[in-house]
Amino acid sequence: MTNASPRFARVLAADELRDGELMPVEIDGTPVVLVRHLGAFYAVQNNCSHRDFPLSEAGFDPRDAVLVCAWHGGCFDVRSGAAVVPPATEAVETFPVRVRDGWVEIGLTGSLAPQRGAA
Ligand code: FES
């Protein structure tokens, strides 16, 4: 069992997102929310683990680097995906992010990885 290097998908120009802003993006049909925090970019699944609610509608609290779900207030650390405030108890998936040539790219791993046998 080896983990292959992720394939990165270009999603937007780095200067399109300011610090503290978030933006929904979709990669291969999977919803992801991209967050810029202290100059770094983070990508997490765009579905709250408490209920199926888009985290792209969440608030962002830069003091703790958390997304605050707009439905019930559950909070997720954008750096780890950890659920840090109930009623959310399960982490959300995170994805590697890099900046190349001024573009933000998200790594296709986990649920975004190409499925075996996929074209
Ligand atoms: S749907 Fe997000 S905390 Fe309930």
- Phi, psi (rounded to 5 degrees) for 68: -110, 105
pLDDT digits (tens, 9 = 90+) for 41-77: 999 999 999 998 999 999 999 999 999 999 999 999 9
- Determine whether the shortest distance from the Cβ of 7 to ligand 1 is under 6 A: no
Taking the domains of the chain in order of start, what are their residue ranges?
A: 7-111
Q: Whose CA is nearest to atom 1 of ligand 1?
A: 51
pLDDT score of 111: 60
Question: Measured at the alpha carbon of residue 119, what is the angle toward residues 11 and 117, in degrees to the nearest 5?
Answer: 120
Question: Measured at the alpha carbon of residue 112, what is the angle toward residues 92 and 85, in degrees to the nearest 5?
Answer: 5
- Determine whether the shortest distance from the Cβ of 87 to ligand 1 is under 6 A: yes
pLDDT score of 110: 61
pTM over 0.85: yes
Cα 1 to middle of ligand 1, angstroms: 35
> What gap in Å lies between CA 73 and CA 90, rounded to an integer?
14
Cα 7 to middle of ligand 1, angstroms: 30
Q: What is the CATH number of domain 7-111?
A: 2.102.10.10
